[in-house]
């Protein structure tokens, strides 16, 4: 089994020349503020690591700016559709701009949570049963009848979440059948398709993966302990409502199993450079895949930086090495 490992220390003089990077953050979606926080933190960490980093938004000035003053590589700290659905990366590919992160096609797959779950389940990864349906299905066939079938198939409690999106926006736990319609209506505010998933009781863990050139390696798992019991948007971004433990308080055997799952997900979905898988560890030690993030949060309180620190490494060093590797492939 794969053990979570420390990120190898950079060799002296690993950055062969002053690297110029552009950090993309912001975007025009509901995760803009989180993205700006991530981008600011990335730029500061890179500066401490000796990298010249310019923070830019993904707007109409981006492509002309990159053409006029080419960067060695771009770091994408955009969350939500702008940074994670693959469209921006496809444009950067067209422009010949190197960037850290997963390719466009892999991002499109990971962005679609039901599709990603289908792929990882086919690869032998355990994931809770689910059903994903567009708003039109409920409108055309009758919401009551469809919801009755969902409860009969998946039982209660249920997790209701948008079929795409991040930052736990729209995510709700539903324990009573009478609360399900309102949860669905709320969730449709974030997208046309809702995924309803069987609730799995256990410890939620964030499993970060990084590839610095020797293949993907799992960092120590971060245990998430929200006061409410559900790691929703409020629990994620309100100080004091969630405790984190890095490394997670699990046995060595479970930690190895979780690391193996995270690397497996990273590989079967065709991801690159870095990712963060969210999973549940049940009381019997089984690890259940929930979803994967191709642009994990990188703020001071985000879980990827916690995992890097738990591995005994510097976030700035890891980010600089990722950028250096991508820049080197284009020279």
Catalytic residue of the set 179, 237, 270, 309: 237
Catalytic residue of the set 37, 38, 167, 208: 167
Please say if 89 is a catalytic residue.
no
Please say if 232 is a catalytic residue.
no
Please say if 52 is a catalytic residue.
no
Q: Which two tokens stand for residue 279?
A: 């999973």
Catalytic residue of the set 45, 84, 291, 317: 291
- Residue-wise over 162-178: b if at least 16 C-beta within 10 A, else e? bbbbbbbbbbbbbeeee
Please say if 297 is a catalytic residue.
yes
Alpha helices in the chain (DSSP H): 32-48, 62-68, 81-84, 87-94, 104-111, 113-122, 135-141, 143-154, 180-188, 233-237, 252-268, 303-310, 315-328
Catalytic residue of the set 31, 57, 72, 260: 31
**Nearest residue to 242 via CA among 219, 224, 257, 254:** 224
Number of neighbours of residue 97 by Cβ within 10 angstroms: 19
Please say if 293 is a catalytic residue.
yes
Task: Please provide residue 275's backbone torsions phi and psi, each rounded to the nearest 5 degrees.
Answer: -160, 165
Please say if 179 is a catalytic residue.
no
CA 171 to chain centre: 15
Catalytic residue of the set 56, 236, 264, 276: 276
Catalytic residue of the set 39, 80, 297, 316: 297
Q: Please state the residue numbers annotated as binding site for Mg(2+).
A: 278, 291, 293
Q: Are 203 and 180 in contact (CB under 8 A)?
A: no
Please say if 72 is a catalytic residue.
no
Catalytic residue of the set 208, 278, 321, 326: 278
Q: Report the chain's C-alpha Rg in angstroms.
A: 20
Residue that the structure tokens 């929703």 belong to: 232
Q: Please state the residue numbers annotated as binding site.
A: 278, 291, 293
User: Long-range contacts for 225-233 (Cβ within 8 Å, ≥24 apart)?
Assistant: 229/173, 230/171, 230/172, 230/173, 231/168, 231/171, 231/204, 232/168, 232/171, 232/172, 233/167, 233/168, 233/169, 233/170, 233/171
Catalytic residues: 31, 167, 237, 276, 278, 291, 293, 297
């Amino acid at each position: 089994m794969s053990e979570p490992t420390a990120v190898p220390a950079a060799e002296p003089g690993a950055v062969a020349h002053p690297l110029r990077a552009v950090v993309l953050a912001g975007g025009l979606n509901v995760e803009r503020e989180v993205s700006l926080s991530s981008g600011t933190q990335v730029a500061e960490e890179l500066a401490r690591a000796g990298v010249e980093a310019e923070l830019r938004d993904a707007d109409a000035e981006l492509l002309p700016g990159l053409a006029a003053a080419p960067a060695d590589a771009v770091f994408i700290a955009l969350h939500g559709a702008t940074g994670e659905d693959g469209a921006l990366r496809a444009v950067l590919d067209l422009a010949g701009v190197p960037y850290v992160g997963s390719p466009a096609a892999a991002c499109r797959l990971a962005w679609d949570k039901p599709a990603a779950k289908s792929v990882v389940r086919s690869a032998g990864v355990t994931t809770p049963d689910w059903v994903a349906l567009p708003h039109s299905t409920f409108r055309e066939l009758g919401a009551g009848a469809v919801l009755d079938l969902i409860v009969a198939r998946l039982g209660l409690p249920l997790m209701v979440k948008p079929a795409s999106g991040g930052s736990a926006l729209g995510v709700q736990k539903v324990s009573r059948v009478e609360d399900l319609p309102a949860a669905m209506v709320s969730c449709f505010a974030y997208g046309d398709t809702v995924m309803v998933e069987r609730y799995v009781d256990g410890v939620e863990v964030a499993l970060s993966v990084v590839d610095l050139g020797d293949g993907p390696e799992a960092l120590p798992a971060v245990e998430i302990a929200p006061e409410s019991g559900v790691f929703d948007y409020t629990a994620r971004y309100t100080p004091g409502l969630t405790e984190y433990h890095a490394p997670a308080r699990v046995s060595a055997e479970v930690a190895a199993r979780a690391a193996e799952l995270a690397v497996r997900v990273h590989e079967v979905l065709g991801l690159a450079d870095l990712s963060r898988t969210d999973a549940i560890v049940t009381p019997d030690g089984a690890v259940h895949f929930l979803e994967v993030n191709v642009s994990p949060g990188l703020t001071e309180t985000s879980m990827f930086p916690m995992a890097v620190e738990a591995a005994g490494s510097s976030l700035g060093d890891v980010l600089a090495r990722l950028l250096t590797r991508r820049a080197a492939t284009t020279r």
